Structure 1
Amino acid sequence: MNRLILGVFGFMGVLVLAIGVLVIVLVVGGGDDGDNGDTGGGPRGESELRLLGPEPSDLDPHRAQDADSALYIVEIFGGLVTLDPDLNLQPDLAEEIPTEENGGKVVNEDGTVSYTFKIRRDALFHDRKPVNASVVKFSLERAADPATQSLVSEFFLGDIIGVKEKLRGEADEVSGVRVVDQFTIEITIEREITSFLFKLTYPTAYVVDEAQVGGNANWTRNPNGTGPYKLDEWRLGELIVLEANTRYHLGAPNIATIRYLLTGTGITLYERDEVDVTGVALDDLTRVQDTTDRLNAEYHSGERLSISYLGFNTNAPPFDDVKVRRAFAMAIDKDELVREVLNDAIPVANGLLMPGLKAYTEDAQDPPFDPERALELLAESKYGGPEGLPEITMAESGTGAASGPVTLVIQEMWLDHLGVDVGLQQSQSETFFQDVNEGRFQLFALGWIMDYPDEENLLNIHFDSESPNNDTFYENAEVDALLRQGLIEPLGPARNELYREAEQLILDDVPWFPLFFSRFHVLIKPYVNNYLIPAAVVPRLRFITLDTE
């Protein structure tokens, strides 16, 4: 579950609408105007890639749920299956993807489905210890252990028989995970789920070293993973260094060292040749898009599978009334925000599902900007108008600094169009997610990066009334029925239509108000090749090469 903290989630070149910070970043870019010196476009002789990166909140794959942490986790650890940069499902620790054709997938008489994974004999931890079926079973059960305190394991692993019982403390092991032999493991799920194997690509299903994690609270400072890179150094607030795993079972990375600076101004460092790639801050975007500027040839942009939104707690007054939610949505002019504040750097979101998903449609209709109708809705609500509303505060992740321009403009629009003065509250990201999950906020600003390209990873996880990650406490029986049918419907037009119907019902009820989809805007030195920026968070560093001559 890769949440975008609106204000922190800039990574991998995405304009994540950083509602609070408002930066278009690559691994946390930032920027001033820089100087006009040499950009350092010549080749590099050493096998080291220098980037700007965010400070991860947690490198435990079973606990982390934010994109900043996932950036490193997907390179250090791995699971049975993974996604390639084109977001296709691929084997990782497993020899192959289990299918009915190869005998790895069996639909049982009781409707349960069993997947059998053969583990690669050359799959090793960084300390050269072999990966086996017992380690995989331990890892999945650790993720489902209540003591691990994972906020996302129920969604990603809850289809496996016995996971829910383990999470509730009612079972010591997960009955649906069975060691067949030293290098074979069987996973049985409750019913056919179209996207189940995609869920296993999420870090919650990654393998960890049982000998390391037991009783060692600080193990993530020196994690023993199975991924293409290993953590070599982590100086808090300064630096993270990843070293190539030369024995990586899918092929050794091309670059020996990845050095992440955790602080600095992106474009300034880039022009001084101190980083090889950087995100572009909003203030610098016009410059680098100018074809007469010398940086333009090194500028790249594209779309990401992510969305920025406002979340309304449907249990908390006054947003327990759909008319109030619609009124607040209809008082926001998203086109003006993108044009005047964001310089047209990203597209307005017309719905919840973004381009790139099979069920995306331009016909999705969220509440339009209509301040007159918004006031009418407030008057029609059970609160009788602006004067009947309780005090309202919007929460965002932050460290006490001033709120960003998007947040402030939205606040101003509500005051101008509704006569409602909404307060702003910032909290540290460590507690922000938990507070959102526990319903402590009336209204919050957040974002979402898709973990894999399936509608279920956005709609089911956030809007099914029984989802543990339904952060707005939204309930609609018709939506539930559509989403649950979508889980089991084979890929194709019928499934797409189920998700489109559900999307429109959700948009009408406004538990979320979608603001923007996102784009990445980055500068890449000419000697850096194959710098892939996938639409989701996947391992990618091992594919990059550097010219050395």
Structure 2
Amino acid sequence: MAARRFICFGLCLAATACGPKFSAKSGSPADTLTWAIPFELTTLDPATATEGRAFDVLRQVYEGLLAIDERGQVVPALADRWEISDDGRTYLFHLHPRVRFGDGRPFTSADVVGSYERACLPEMRSPLAPDYLKDIVGVDEVVKGAARHLAGLRAVDPLTVEIKLREPRPSFLSRLAYPVCAIVPAGSPEIRDAAQMIGTGPFIPVSRTTTGLEMKANLAYWGGTPKLSHLSIRFVPDSGTRLNLFRTGEVDLTSVPSGDVPGVRREPSLAKALVVTPRADVSYLQFNAISEPVLKDPRVRRALALCIDRKRIATDISGGVPIPAATLIPPGVPGHEEADVPPADPAAARRLLAEAGYPGGKRFPPIQIAYQDTQRENPAVEAIVTMWRKELGIEATGRGIPAPALREANLARRLPCFFTAWVGDYPDPDDFASMLLRTGSSANGSSYSNPRVDQMLDAADRMPLGPARLERYRAAETAALADAPIVPLLFLRDAELVSGRVQGLKHGAFGHSSFSTVSVRP
């Protein structure tokens, strides 16, 4: 593992008794937070990022006009106030004065315009930005390469930005809080190394290797000087290794797979450090008929879904941390509705499979469930394939795939079955229903297309905030799930180990907030 590197501020002080105090952790300053995460960052650029948990890291560097706090509320960030026209199509954002990027250059409206246009350029190949910014006039033209500038975006003056939408969109403010809408300096190239990670956030990247990312405090941070001098992030895929690093005090913060939680709770020193937080996340099984024609038949998809015992996966397989899910919209997000979790019904599943032409699983092609290879096998996936083999007589297996290859295969729609999760981006039902179920959405990995569902989603997206809008989303969700293009499995909760020396950590339904107020005791 590469040695951790730190930048020394004020060399004249380093040789005196007033220098920084050091901890036993590899000679790092005592006010360093060491955070072990279960994956390597596949991108350092907010415009091209897709992994929801990676945004917890990126938001320590980058910020948007708006943010989502630990209560799940949209709050001011780089924009301290805004105005909306009576017709809901024009937004005027007033920017915080005296904000500077980590390299010292001033933040202005030109950076907002440049960041949004940059994210939509075809050469950036952003999987998500065109969806999150699509309501701005001119996005389609830029995405297609017919224009280089967004017609609906204008820098009125250095501290004012005007955004014009094609039509009213109640969720627009929430979307701007999503990290793909973060602001980088105008003219930034695609960000490929730590030196290029220039944001307005509380930390400045110093170095990045295959084993970690080192950051120093942004002493000129507009939100107040961070209490930490350094943030050290380690990429540690193996959960057992992360637990051992926490036991020995080498890391202060790390995630715990739900299947490991029962063992953690039996170990007193770890149990008192365990923190479980509800997330606005849902895990689900995605079917794609493009890569496996047998899945075109909704009877087949429903049969596979009916065999899955979600309650058993939540309790016996996943340590009781997640909650069985019957819908896509999770608790804490407007539009969530409590619903009975469908029990496993193998007899009904066998009848449906026989109706589809595969009695007893005969002539059914082998099927494989892909999942992210963060550990050698995924217990939930193994449970599902066992249920299918036992109850339906089909040949089913699970396959772990490294994150970069998995992402590429999913975007290319090459995965017949995919066990995955949608990590909530912002507190609005369109983030789940519209993103996962609408025809052509970048997040619609099942390639599901239903004109009736699209019409309901389009109507809901345009409706003013209120009960009628939420009911329309629920109706669209119900209609789509009857076709079983995806099967909601679990509403997720984060399990983390937090050292007793860590103070001020904020963790809500949409992940970790800024670490600017976090401190560590020596």
TM-score normalised by structure 2 residue count:
0.88
Give the Å deviation of 1:313. 1.1
Answer yes or no: is the 8 Å Cα contact 1:278–1:522 preserved in 2.
yes
The reply to whether residue 250 of structure 1 matches residue 223 of structure 2 is yes
SS at match of 2:80: coil
1:376 counterpart residue number: 351
- 1:321/1:183 CA distance change after superposition, 3 Å: same
Asked if 1:208 corresponds to 2:193, the answer is: no
1:52 maps onto 2:36 in alignment: yes
> Distance between the aligned counterparts of 2:231 and 2:517, measured in 1?
12
Once the two structures are TM-superposed, the CA of residue 150 in structure 1 deviates from its matched residue by 0.5
CA displacement at 1:220 relative to structure 2? 4.7
Cα offset for 1:444? 1.2
Farther-moved stretch of structure 1 (125-134 vs 350-359): 350-359
Q: Distance in 2 between matches of 1:331 and 1:418?
A: 8
Change over 3 Å in CA distance of 1:288–1:218 after alignment to 2: closer
Q: CA deviation at 1:384?
A: 6.1
After TM superposition, list the pairs within 5 Å mapping 1:153-302 onto structure 2.
153-211=129-187, 213-214=188-189, 218-237=192-211, 239-263=212-236, 265-282=241-258, 284-290=260-266, 293-302=268-277
Q: Given residue 357 of structure 1, which amino acid in structure 2 is its aligned partner?
A: V
Could you tell which deviates more after superposition, 330-339 or 58-67? 330-339
In the alignment, structure 1 residue 349 sits paired with structure 2 residue 349: no
Kindly report structure 1 stretches of 4+ aligned residues shifted beyond 6 Å: none
Per the alignment, residue 69 of structure 1 pairs with: 54
- Structure 2 unaligned blocks of 5 or more: 1-23
Gaps of at least 5 residues in structure 1 are 1-39, 99-103
SS of residue matched to 2:507: coil
| Residues 1:106 and 2:85 aligned together | yes
The whole-number CA distance in structure 2 between the counterparts of 1:295 and 1:69 is 25
Shift of 1:327: 0.3
- Aligned mate of 1:438, from 398, 404, 412: 412
One of 392, 403, 409 as aligned partner of 2:367: 392
SS at match of 2:295: coil
Q: CA deviation at 1:365?
A: 5.6
Instruction: Name the amino acid aligned to 1:78.
Output: E
Amino acid aligned to 1:404: N
Quote the offset at 1:359 in angstroms: 1.6
Please, which moves more after superposition, 478-487 or 140-149? 478-487
Partner-residue secondary structure (3-state), 1:243? strand
1:406 corresponding residue in structure 2: 380
Q: For 1:142, which of 106, 118, 122 is the aligned residue?
A: 118
SS of residue in 2 equivalent to 1:302: strand
Partner amino acid, structure 2, of 1:64: A
Could you say which residue in structure 2 is the equivalent of 1:332? 308
- Of 388, 391, 394, the residue aligned with 1:420 is 394
Give 2:464's aligned residue: 490
CA distance in structure 1 between the aligned counterparts of 2:408 and 2:135, rounded to whole angstroms: 23
Aligned 8 A contact 1:60 1:220 in 2: no
Closer/same/farther in 2, CA of residues 81 and 282 from structure 1, 3 Å limit? closer
SS, match of residue 139 in structure 1: helix
Query: CA 1:261 to 1:433, structure 2 compared with 1: closer, same or farther past 3 Å?
Result: closer
Q: Equivalent of 2:295, from 305, 319, 331?
A: 319
Q: 2:193·2:208 contact (CA, 8 Å) conserved in 1?
A: no
RMSD, aligned α-carbons: 2.4
Distance 1:52 1:219, change over 3 A: closer
Output the CA distance in 1 between the equivalents of 2:157 and 2:191.
Answer: 31
Residues 45 and 229 of structure 1, relative CA distance in 2, 3 Å threshold:
closer
Q: Decide whether aligned partners of structure 1 residues 281 and 158 sit closer, same or farther in structure 2, where only a CA change above 3 A counts.
A: closer
Paired with 1:71 and 1:337, the residues of 2 have a C-alpha distance of: 27
Query: What code does the residue aligned with 1:362 have?
Result: E
CA distance in structure 1 between the aligned counterparts of 2:193 and 2:180, rounded to whole angstroms: 17
Which residue in 2 is equivalent to 1:509? 483
Aligned to 2:76: 91
Q: Which residue of 2 aligns with 1:151?
A: 127
Q: Greater CA deviation, 51-60 or 216-225?
A: 216-225
Q: Which has the higher contact order (CA 8 A, sep 6+)?
A: 1
Over 3 Å counting, the alpha-carbon distance change for 1:520 and 1:397 in structure 2 is closer
Paired with 1:107 and 1:306, the residues of 2 have a C-alpha distance of: 34
Contact 2:94 2:160 in 1 (8 A): yes
Asked if 2 retains the 8 angstrom alpha-carbon contact of 1:59 and 1:72, the reply is: no
